[in-house]
Structure 1
Amino acid sequence: MFKNLFGKKTPQKAFIAITLNAKLQPMHRADLEDALSLVLEKQNIGEICGGGSLLEDNGEIRECDIEIEAVDSSEQAIGHILNFLKNTLSPKGSRLRIGDKVIPFGEHEGLGLYLNGTDLPDDIYQNCDINDVWAEIEKLLGDEGSIHSYYQGNTETALYIYGNQFEVMYQLLKPYIDSYPLCQQCRVVKIAG
């Protein structure tokens, strides 16, 4: 008789933690969070309540987290979140945690291009521009991948590229890397995959 007297029960909230195996600067993670927030709002799933980065000893980002306070943690809601990430950034080795349940996910592979910032002749640093490297990489990769973030260290600048397959991205970039002066003595590292 009194079960509806006080209205509907407040939905139980759940905490969802997404750990992306992605080296994203906080500003780039925030861009992803903003886009994910729109999906969460549209699907009535919840809202972003936090995020952070795990750092290497040298200050480079190892991985990053996005935290969600969810009012809907159903399989369908989790599916919406994972589908969004699949279509934006979903590096292999990523995981979603809800309670004690961990869901591994990831389709994209990562390529780190570490440009030598100290050992090249001065005229190369004066006459070459990292922005030109960035633009050329984006052009060469087409739909195979794109730069999602970067790192400016004491001796290197890294561009973090995520896409379908590391080897395909590397082969598309290799002729440019081998010929552009600023790419001399660079390192190419598989960062997800």
Structure 2
Amino acid sequence: MENNQYLFTLQLNARLQPIDRDEYFEDPINQALEDSQCGTTDGGGTMLQETGEIESCDVEIILKDNKKENVDKVLQIINEIGVPKGSLLLGNGFKQSVGTLEGLALYLNGTELPEEVYETSDINYVIEKINQELNGIGRFYSFWGGPTDSGLYFYGTSFAEMKQRMAAFLAEYPLCQKCRVEQIA
């Protein structure tokens, strides 16, 4: 690393598989930094809960220097891309809260439904239908498969509105019986 470079970590309050972190955050941030000629990204990481479920993730950012306009550009890029509430941008002596998106986790019960429900239902259909319901206010970002349930992670402008829009589908689709909905950002 060159001496004049400045390191940041974008701690994302987001439950994302590494490939999804790359697609939704690392790659777009990198492209915007390169386009503005002020820096680049340098990988990232994923934090897990004791259960193995994703807790959060981060993206490493390298600015070519620590001029205020470059820091402001990073903040502008983050705001334009949209990150979940509760995220932080951290640097040497720098800490700023960022994020406007709210998060919703939908946990599908993987053990207590009749076997025919699992055999005849499709989790991809659940994602597709909910994305249709959330059109304009949120969308699916990632997933987690646990020992007793599967988590589907959605981020958007309003947890309450996302929950309300998907309620009718959750009540009618067999695979969604005994599901849990939790706010995660």
Query: Is the TM-score greater than 0.5?
Result: yes
Q: Structure 1: which 4+ aligned runs deviate by more than 6 Å? A: none
Return 85-94 or 60-69, whichever deviates more: 85-94
Residue number in structure 1 paired with 2:132: 139
Q: Aligned partners of 2:3, 2:64: CA distance in 1, in Å? A: 6
Residue number in structure 1 paired with 2:10: 18
Task: Please report how far the alpha carbon of residue 36 of structure 1 lies from its aligned counterpart in structure 2 after TM superposition.
Answer: 1.3
Residue number in structure 2 paired with 1:179: 172
Residue number in structure 2 paired with 1:109: 102
Extract unaligned runs of 5+ from structure 1. 1-9
Instruction: Provide the aligned C-alpha RMSD in A.
Output: 1.4
Per-residue CA distance 1:98-137 (angstroms, 9 max, x = gap): 1121010110100000000111000100111001001001
Q: Aligned partners of 2:171, 2:72: CA distance in 1, in Å? A: 42
Letter aligned with residue 14 of structure 1: Y
Q: Aligned partners of 1:75, 1:183: CA distance in 2, in Å? A: 48
Q: Aligned partners of 1:168, 1:74: CA distance in 2, in Å? A: 40
State percent identity of aligned pairs: 38
Extract unaligned runs of 5+ from structure 2. none
2:145 pairs with 1:152: yes
TM-score of the superposition, structure 1-length normalised? 0.90
**Of residues 57, 66, 86 in structure 1, which corresponds to 2:59?**
66
- Number of residues paired by the alignment? 183
Per-residue CA distance 1:12-50 (angstroms, 9 max, x = gap): 111111000000101111112112111111111212123
Letter aligned with residue 91 of structure 1: P
Residue number in structure 2 paired with 1:5: none
Letter aligned with residue 83 of structure 2: S
Task: Please report how far the alpha carbon of residue 72 of structure 1 lies from its aligned counterpart in structure 2 after TM superposition.
Answer: 3.4
Larger Rg: 1
Given that 1:92 and 1:106 are in contact with CA atoms closer than 8 Å, whether structure 2 keeps it comes out as: yes
1:59 and 1:150, CA in 2 relative to 1: closer, same or farther beyond 3 A? Answer: same
Return 67-76 or 36-45, whichever deviates more: 67-76
